[in-house]
Amino acid sequence: MNIEADSNDITEHPHDDNGRHTDKVYSCGHCEKCFNTYRYLSEHMNVHSSKYKCTECGKCFSCNRHLTVHRRSHSGEKPFECKVCTKRFTQSAHLVAHSRIHSGEKPYKCQLCDKTCSHSGHLNTHMRVHTGDKPYKCSLCDKRFSRSGHLQSHKRHVHSNRRPYDCRWCGKLFKTSRHLKQHVYTHTVAKPYSCRHCSECFTFNVQLKRHLLKSHNEGTWFTCHICEKKFTQSSSLKDHIRHHEGVKPYVCNECLKCFYSARELKSHKLRHSDVKHFCCGKCGKFYKYKQYVVIHFNRCFGVVPFSDIFSGN
């Protein structure tokens, strides 16, 4: 579909002989969305003409084919099925991308480090490792991230008190399903992660990785370039380096006290609250601080299921 666009609605930027952008892109004057080519921008401009509009949610599309695909999100129709695992998809392109999970195909290759990816989007995200680009900015603290998922995780952990995941054993609430899964192990005392070199078993995978490094020298140490102290996790090294630099980016919204890490801030916030989050899986007794329930847990079970999980050493 072609439309007549006013020159004020389109911003044109330099491009090469093949029509690709060189420095900037073509941007829409209505919504500021940007495109690599003028053709893509022209197709996008049809969205603002509202010719193809979803009657369910009001969303507009540049062509009828896109509207047809979108309607499947309302009807639940998924006509494309994977022959390997029978998972179904609304679009054939999604099925093609999914099939690479089974084939192991990674057709997208980084020209700087030879890393290969199964999706073009994954390659675009990887390129930010080389460029240092962090396009996702937190509206609350101005911290920037290279991935939208990292931004959303940051908002949940630092700025939000919403805890939608609850433990069926004790009712404790968590911000993420991963944290809930880790907590459930404290009730079951399960140790599903076993060392292939010895008989040691662990409750969490991070404990196994730490054991492999310390006991069997398997894996990669993260070393501080200032004092050469070693860590088993990159996040622990980042927290440590802030102590050398004197940077305290985590601020308590109650008393404005600053901290080097999110873990330190989280522990500090307990002082401002009367809520007791930590529960003994055997007797149901609650504690305000994790170290207290660890001591109590020892008395009930004779084991320590999660002390030193995030210590970094």
In this structure, what token pair is assigned to residue 34? 């940007």
Domain with CATH 3.30.160.60 in the chain: 1-77, 222-271
The architecture of the domain spanning 222-271 is 2-Layer Sandwich (3.30)
CATH 3.30.300.10 fits domain 1-77: no
Q: How much of the chain is in helix, strand and coil states, percent to nearest 5?
A: 40, 15, 45
State the number of CA atoms in the 13 A half-sphere of 150 facing the CB.
10
Task: Determine which of 61-70, 115-124, 184-193 has the lowest per-residue pLDDT on average.
Answer: 184-193
pLDDT for residue 227: 92
Asked if 253 and 264 count as a contact pair (C-beta separation under 8 A), the reply is no
Question: pLDDT tens digits, residue range 257-280?
Answer: 888 888 888 778 778 777 666 767
pTM: 0.39
User: pLDDT tens digits for 50-64?
Assistant: 567 888 887 777 678
Write the CB contacts of 308 (distance below 8 Å, at least 6 apart in sequence). Answer: none
pLDDT of residue 281: 63
List pLDDT tens digits, range 15-52: 444 443 444 357 777 766 777 677 777 777 766 665 67
Whether residue 12 is predicted with pLDDT greater than 70 in this model: the reply is no
